[in-house]
Amino acid sequence: MAKTLKDKINEYKKDLAQYSRLSYDRGLVAARGGNLSIRIPGTERVLITPSGISLRDITPEIIIEVDIQGNLLKGKKNLKPSKETPFHTSIYRIRKDVMAIAHVHPPFSTALSLKDKPFPLLTAPGMVNLVKVPLVEFALMGTKELCDYVSEAAKQNMEVKTLLLKGHGIIGMGPDLASAYYIADLVEDCAKVALLSSI
């Protein structure tokens, strides 16, 4: 029997909970940082993690649904969409190939983002799978300024799978959530190797 859209949405919510916990367990985020989202195929709707909750504690039941402009569609009354919803939905509007986003705050990548130098791709997996990691200028979390910087970087780098936010971590992008997560994980591994090689 073919899966209904409702069945698929329930699966996406489970994926968001799974990869949220993986992000926390892997050390890609700490405390209540980071946010993940999925564009629902064939619609103008997006599922995103809520604001103010650790990715460690995300469950399918608390995932929030917004439209492609970021307007709230469905969610528990006491929860709000991630404060970074504007740049998630902006990327989806700009990049039709992107179906999922993993925004995480890992330490090695964040440290490298502060050096104001091109991101060093020293490993074969990084060279082949990333090619380029553009740096996005610093702005505070959840601000229009940050959304504008991310949007401009997405427009100027239509081929990339990731963006590095100065002082703020990684945006991994992919055709599905697993791909977006593993891109972010690969960026962090490349950053770790680069910093260790400089010791």
Q: Please, is 190 exposed, middle or buried when counting C-beta atoms within 10 Å of its C-beta (0-12, 13-18, 19+)?
A: buried
Answer for the pair 96, 112: CB distance below 8 angstroms, yes or no: no
Q: What is the amino acid identity at position 13?
A: K
Q: What is the pLDDT of residues 129-175, one digit of tens each?
A: 998 999 999 999 999 999 999 999 999 999 999 999 999 999 999 99
Q: Could you give the CA distance from residue 134 to residue 99 in angstroms, rounded to a whole number?
A: 20
Answer for the pair 31, 95: CB distance below 8 angstroms, yes or no: no
Place of tokens 């740049």: 87
Statement: 5-197 belongs to CATH 3.40.225.10: yes
The answer to pTM > 0.85 is yes
In this prediction, residue 21 carries a pLDDT of 98
Q: Above 80 in pLDDT, residue 181?
A: yes
In this prediction, residue 108 carries a pLDDT of 97
Q: What is the pLDDT of residues 56-78, one digit of tens each?
A: 999 999 999 999 999 999 888 78
Q: How confident is the model at residue 1 (pLDDT cuts 50, 70, 90)?
A: low
In this prediction, residue 44 carries a pLDDT of 95
In this prediction, residue 189 carries a pLDDT of 96
Q: Could you give the CA distance from residue 70 to residue 79 in angstroms, rounded to a whole number?
A: 15
Q: Could you give the CA distance from residue 10 to residue 120 in angstroms, rounded to a whole number?
A: 39
Q: Above 90 in pLDDT, residue 18?
A: yes
Q: Above 90 in pLDDT, residue 2?
A: no
Residues annotated catalytic, as ranges: 84
Q: Could you give the CA distance from residue 194 to residue 199 in angstroms, rounded to a whole number?
A: 9
CA dihedral (162, 103, 88, 117) in degrees, to 10, reads: -40
In this prediction, residue 148 carries a pLDDT of 98
Which residues share a beta bridge with 161? none
Please give the order of strands across the beta sheet that includes 72-74.
72-74, 64-67, 45-48, 35-39, 100-104, 169-174, 162-165, 135-136
Q: Could you give the CA distance from residue 119 to residue 111 in angstroms, rounded to a whole number?
A: 11
Answer for the pair 37, 100: CB distance below 8 angstroms, yes or no: yes
Q: What is the pLDDT of residues 78-108, one digit of tens each?
A: 899 999 999 999 999 999 999 999 999 999 9
Residue among 107, 120, 127, 122 at smallest CA distance from 167: 107
More confident residue, 68 or 116: 68
